[in-house]
Amino acid sequence: MNVNVLRLDHRLKRDTRITTHVCLTARAFGASKIYLAGERDNRLMENVRDTASRFGGNFEIEYTESAMGVINRWKRDGGKVVHLTMYGTQAHETAPEVREDGSDILIVVGGAKVPGKVYKAADWNVSVTTQPHSEVSSLAVFQHLLMDGKEFDLEFENPVLEVIPTAHGKNVNIHDENR
């Protein structure tokens, strides 16, 4: 199953930090690509590409003028759409069904106001609690459930920097051969 993420309604003056965290969370939890809809933010996209190149893997970020175009193409190509919202079915109940389906998944995370057509196009509208909270936390929780905890075992190809888990301090392996 290939997982991509679509970030709706990015706003330059307001959302740079939160959208960056959506991108980094998507990557760290196993997504291979994120689509950025809303206002074009070349600096954010370059920062995400730079982080991905330093920490390894093949994560991509792409700007799109049409979020619904991405959703419609994804579905036309046989993929399924998961929309994270506080109004959907519970994530802990839905994630196993999504995982068992086996289709490529596009996870949609909202912005200011999600249009009704996104809810209608989604194969699953999924709630990570029924309370307002961050799209970053929703994405992390859902991807964790979808991966069944296997994101802790992900290995990212050709990292320049590799963090080695340690109880105290910082342990970073620098791979000079990948520079």
Instruction: Say what the pTM is.
Output: 0.96
Indicate whether 25 pLDDT > 80.
yes
- Cα–Cα distance between 18 and 159 in angstroms, integer? 24
Domains annotated on the chain, with CATH: 3-178 (3.40.1280.10)
The larger pLDDT score, comparing residue 100 to residue 132, is at: 100
- Cα–Cα distance between 106 and 70 in angstroms, integer? 9
- Cα–Cα distance between 119 and 175 in angstroms, integer? 44
The predicted structure's pLDDT at residue 1? 95
- Cα–Cα distance between 154 and 178 in angstroms, integer? 18
At a CB cut-off of 8 Å and minimum separation 6, what does 156 contact? 55, 56, 57
Q: Per this entry, what is the length of the chain?
A: 179
- Cα–Cα distance between 110 and 8 in angstroms, integer? 5
Mean pLDDT for all residues in the chain: 95
pLDDT in tens, 85-122: 999 999 999 999 999 999 999 999 987 789 999 999 99
The predicted structure's pLDDT at residue 76? 98
pLDDT in tens, 28-72: 999 999 999 999 999 999 999 999 999 999 999 999 999 999 999
The predicted structure's pLDDT at residue 124? 98
Mean pLDDT value of segment 125-145: 95
Indicate whether 179 pLDDT > 90.
no
